[in-house]
Amino acid sequence: MFPDSALVPRRGGVVRIKRRLEVTQQERAMLVGRMADRARVQGGDGSAELLQQRARSYEEDAELLRRLIAHGNGPDGAVEEHGT
């Protein structure tokens, strides 16, 4: 049906998508962090803590994407640790 090469995304396109995902995760982290701050000011400490945890999770996802962009050159897209 399709040659195998047609199913393999080009590296530039994959990197571009990873960068977009990274920015999206960073924006989510900032937005949810602001929501946590607002909840805290309004006395919703429990909600604020849950939102802050979610913001940290989004930031961790963004960090993983940064690493994938920088080092994700393995044949299966896995992060290759350099210097280990």
Assess if residue 6 is contained within a domain: no
pLDDT 10s digits, 5-50: 555 556 677 778 888 999 999 999 999 999 999 999 999 889 999 9
Torsion of Cα atoms, 53 then 57 then 62 then 66, to 10°: 120
Q: What distance in Å separates the CA atoms of residue 18 and residue 9, rounded to the nearest whole number? A: 12
Number of domains in the chain: 1
- Check if the beta carbon of residue 54 is closer than 8 Å to that of residue 61: no
Residues 6+ apart with CB under 8 A from 64: 79
Assess if residue 83 is contained within a domain: no
pLDDT of residue 58: 94
Alpha carbon 62 to its chain's center: 3
Assess if residue 28 is contained within a domain: yes
The arithmetic mean of pLDDT across residues 57-73, rounded, is 86
Assess if residue 45 is contained within a domain: yes
Q: What distance in Å separates the CA atoms of residue 67 and residue 60, rounded to the nearest whole number? A: 11
Assess if residue 5 is contained within a domain: no
